[in-house]
């Protein structure tokens, strides 16, 4: 297990290094000089030069890349070109909205998908199965931001159970915070729950045909007992893969959903930064999202190895 973990860790570090290179140099080719952009058209050349020096833009590209990466390792993401405040602070403020939102959605999606998938698999071919499958087919086709708008119309405007947008803030208490994230989390979770339920169902159906399931039944376990004791654990591998993949979709999807609910998360930050050409903020947010995706995939790989010991001996 230790060797497996180390090998995965090495590949994680390599991926992060290459991803950071890609992000940095892609942003570098962006036309326009941030310093001239900040100072406007009538800026004096020496003012621009001074600002370039202050922002570190006069260093070589590779030098700036190195200081960007080493800075990030120390939690220093540089200084925003437009707000002149540390990017790390701006990001961590927003992260307290985006990350709980993605996690909330992930939990909801799992809570909906597991029972639905298990139910459908247990009733394969019957009406219950068809109903669940029909619902998931629809769930996959619904754009989550549109679903979000519909939720706002029903639950915020008509029923007034929730606010149509905005974030109460965690300082108002956990419940108030969760309350303002509930509609966004539901709209994020719906399409993912539909996908996850389908994966859960088909993974379970594959398992039900296995020899060891027949053995379990032959030992006298009921269909239900066999499903719970032997089926679920074995079905977890494809399900875990999808959950891992979904986290990145949820985090990226949160960027769009935040726009619907006017939530002060990473999405708002990055769109403001794009329009203000605050490239260092864009760079850092993108790097953070990619870091999250790569780390989650790494954790999923480790979880596989825990669920299925056979995988540890392979690469």
Q: Which residues contact 38 (CB under 8 A, 6 or more apart)?
A: 51, 81, 82
Which part of the chain contacts another protein (CB under 8 A), choosing from 45-53, 63-71, 151-159, 215-223? 151-159
Helix axes 87-122, 266-275, angle to 10 degrees: 130
Contact between 183 and another protein per CB under 8 A? no
Instruction: Pick the closest to residue 286 from 68, 14, 57 (CA basis).
Output: 68
Which part of the chain contacts another protein (CB under 8 A), choosing from 96-104, 113-121, 205-213, 267-275? 267-275
Q: Which residue has the tokens 């927003």?
A: 94
Contact between 137 and another protein per CB under 8 A? yes
Contact between 143 and another protein per CB under 8 A? yes
Give the Cα separation of 131 and 128 in Å (integer): 5
Contact assessment for residue 90 and residue 78, using Cβ atoms and an 8 Å cutoff: no
Contact assessment for residue 200 and residue 217, using Cβ atoms and an 8 Å cutoff: no
Burial degree of 259 (CB within 10 A; 0-12, 13-18, 19+): middle
What mask, x for binding another protein by CB under 8 A, covers residues 203 to 242? ----------------------------------------
Give the Cα separation of 258 and 264 in Å (integer): 7
Structure tokens given for 266 = 């990473």
Contact between 95 and another protein per CB under 8 A? no
Residue choice 121, 284, 293, 304 for contact with another protein (CB under 8 A): 293
3-state DSSP assignment of residue 79: strand
At closest approach, how far in Å is the CB of 40 from another protein? 19
Residue choice 57, 145, 264, 312 for contact with another protein (CB under 8 A): 145
At closest approach, how far in Å is the CB of 26 from another protein? 6
Contact between 26 and another protein per CB under 8 A? yes
Contact assessment for residue 288 and residue 91, using Cβ atoms and an 8 Å cutoff: yes
Residue choice 132, 213, 216, 286 for contact with another protein (CB under 8 A): 286
At closest approach, how far in Å is the CB of 299 from another protein? 14
Give the Cα separation of 77 and 279 in Å (integer): 12
Residue choice 4, 5, 19, 217 for contact with another protein (CB under 8 A): 19
Contacting positions for another protein (CB under 8 A): 11, 14-15, 18-19, 22-23, 26-27, 29-31, 137-138, 140-143, 145-146, 149-150, 152-153, 157, 248-249, 251-253, 255-256, 259-260, 267, 270-271, 273-274, 277, 279, 282, 285-286, 289-290, 293-294, 297
């Amino acid at each position: 297990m230790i060797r497996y973990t180390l090998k995965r860790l090495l590949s994680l570090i390599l991926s992060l290094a290459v991803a950071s290179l890609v992000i940095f140099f892609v942003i570098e080719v962006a036309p326009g000089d941030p310093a001239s952009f900040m100072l406007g058209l009538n800026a004096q050349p020496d003012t621009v030069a001074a600002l370039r020096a202050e922002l570190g833009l006069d260093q070589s590209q590779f030098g700036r890349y190195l200081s960007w990466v080493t800075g990030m390792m120390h939690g220093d993401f540089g200084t925003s070109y437009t707000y002149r405040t540390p990017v790390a602070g701006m990001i961590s403020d927003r992260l307290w909205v985006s990350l709980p939102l993605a996690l909330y959605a992930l939990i909801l999606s799992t809570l909906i998908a597991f029972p639905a998938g298990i139910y459908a698999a247990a009733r394969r071919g019957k009406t219950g199965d068809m109903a669940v499958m029909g619902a998931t087919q629809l769930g996959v086709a619904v754009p989550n931001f549109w679903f979000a708008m519909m939720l706002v119309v029903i639950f915020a405007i008509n029923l007034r159970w929730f606010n149509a947008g905005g974030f109460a803030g965690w300082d108002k208490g956990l419940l108030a915070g969760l309350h303002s994230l509930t509609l966004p989390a539901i709209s994020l979770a719906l399409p993912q729950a539909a996908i996850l339920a389908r994966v859960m169902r088909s993974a379970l159906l594959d398992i039900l045909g296995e020899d060891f399931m027949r053995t379990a039944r032959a030992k006298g376990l009921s269909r239900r007992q066999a499903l719970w004791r032997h089926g679920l654990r074995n079905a977890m591998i494809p399900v875990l893969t999808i959950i891992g993949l979904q986290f990145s979709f949820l985090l990226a999807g949160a960027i769009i959903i935040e726009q619907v609910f006017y939530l002060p998360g990473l999405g708002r930050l990055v769109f403001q930064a794009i329009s203000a050409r605050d490239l260092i903020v864009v760079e850092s947010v993108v790097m953070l999202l990619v870091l999250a995706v790569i780390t989650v995939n790494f954790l999923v790989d480790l979880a596989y190895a825990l669920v299925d010991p056979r995988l540890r001996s392979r690469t």
